[in-house]
């Protein structure tokens, strides 16, 4: 059965699709994760971080694939800041981050990877549910978002409208092919083709922690 898919264009001078972070290193991948798309859509709808159940439901309903229409190049930002005893850092868990210990000579270090001039396309639809937004509501929210949108990190502002139209296809791979673009792509592993692998791309929106992996296929769309 042919289905309708929302086509998103994720393009910006700088963007980041966060990968598994270890210590102070924040890497990026080439494709958005399920949690990243959930956060982007939730922000457009005006949801707050405390709306864990709504985010979780939306993430569980997402069916999507992504295609790199223009590969960007990796840009690494190294941040060093000397924090004094009374300095505080902003966090997402409701409590300021503070320095511990008696010495403050060593700087606070962070490394963040970005994609420069990257163009990634996403096709998505939603599993049916008795509650929650439908695909048209998501498209409307992205066109007129409740808050400013960014792709991965707050400095990463989109260079073009996110909604690029609609396509039709029987599955994710067919919808990606319907874009008429060639490139490396990612789609669900239960569809034919590609090389299968696991990606850590899910979030537990109640705890704010890693929430599992998805089985995907990666390959070329001609």
pLDDT tens digits for range 34-76: 999 999 999 999 999 889 999 999 999 999 999 999 999 999 9
Q: For residues 2 and 9, what is the distance between their CA atoms, to the nearest angstrom?
A: 22
Residue 121 lies in a domain: yes
Helix, strand, coil percent values for the chain (each to nearest 5): 15, 45, 40
What would the two tokens of residue 202 be?
């899910």
Number of domains into which the chain is organized:
1
Alpha-helical regions (H) of the chain: 34-45, 52-61, 135-143, 172-177
Residue 96 lies in a domain: no
- Residue 25: pLDDT band (50, 70, 90) is confident
The CATH number of the domain holding residue 7 is 3.30.70.2660
- Residue 101: pLDDT band (50, 70, 90) is low
Q: Which domain holds residue 132?
A: 3-19+27-72+115-221
Residue 190 lies in a domain: yes
The rounded percent of the chain whose pLDDT value lies above 70 is: 91
pLDDT score recorded for residue 102? 58
| pLDDT (average), residues 81-108 | 68
Answer whether residue 111 shows pLDDT above 70. Answer: yes
Residue 80 lies in a domain: no
What would the two tokens of residue 215 be?
């089985």
Indicate if the alpha-carbon torsion angle 140, 145, 151, 157 is positive or negative: positive
CA 69-60-54 angle, to 5 degrees, is 110
pLDDT score recorded for residue 41? 98
Residue 154 lies in a domain: yes
């Amino acid at each position: 059965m042919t289905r309708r898919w929302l086509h998103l264009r994720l393009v910006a001078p700088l963007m980041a699709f966060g990968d598994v972070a270890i210590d102070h290193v924040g890497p990026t991948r080439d494709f958005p994760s399920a949690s990243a798309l959930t956060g982007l859509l939730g922000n457009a709808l005006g949801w707050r971080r405390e709306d864990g159940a709504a985010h979780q439901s939306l993430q569980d309903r997402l069916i999507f694939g992504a295609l790199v229409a223009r590969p960007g190049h990796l840009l690494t930002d190294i941040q060093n800041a000397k924090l004094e005893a009374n300095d505080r850092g902003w966090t997402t868990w409701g409590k300021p981050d503070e320095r511990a210990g008696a010495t403050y000579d060593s700087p606070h270090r962070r490394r963040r990877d970005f994609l420069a001039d990257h163009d990634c396309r996403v096709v998505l639809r939603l599993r049916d549910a008795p509650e929650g937004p439908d695909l048209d509501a998501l498209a409307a929210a992205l066109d007129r978002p409740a808050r400013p949108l960014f792709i991965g990190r707050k400095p990463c502002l989109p260079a073009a409208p996110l909604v690029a139209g609609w396509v039709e296809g029987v599955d994710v791979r067919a919808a990606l092919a319907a874009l008429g673009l060639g490139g490396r792509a990612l789609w669900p592993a239960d569809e034919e083709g590609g090389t299968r692998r696991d990606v850590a791309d899910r979030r537990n929106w109640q705890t704010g922690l890693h929430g599992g992996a998805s089985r995907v296929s990666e390959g070329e769309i001609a």
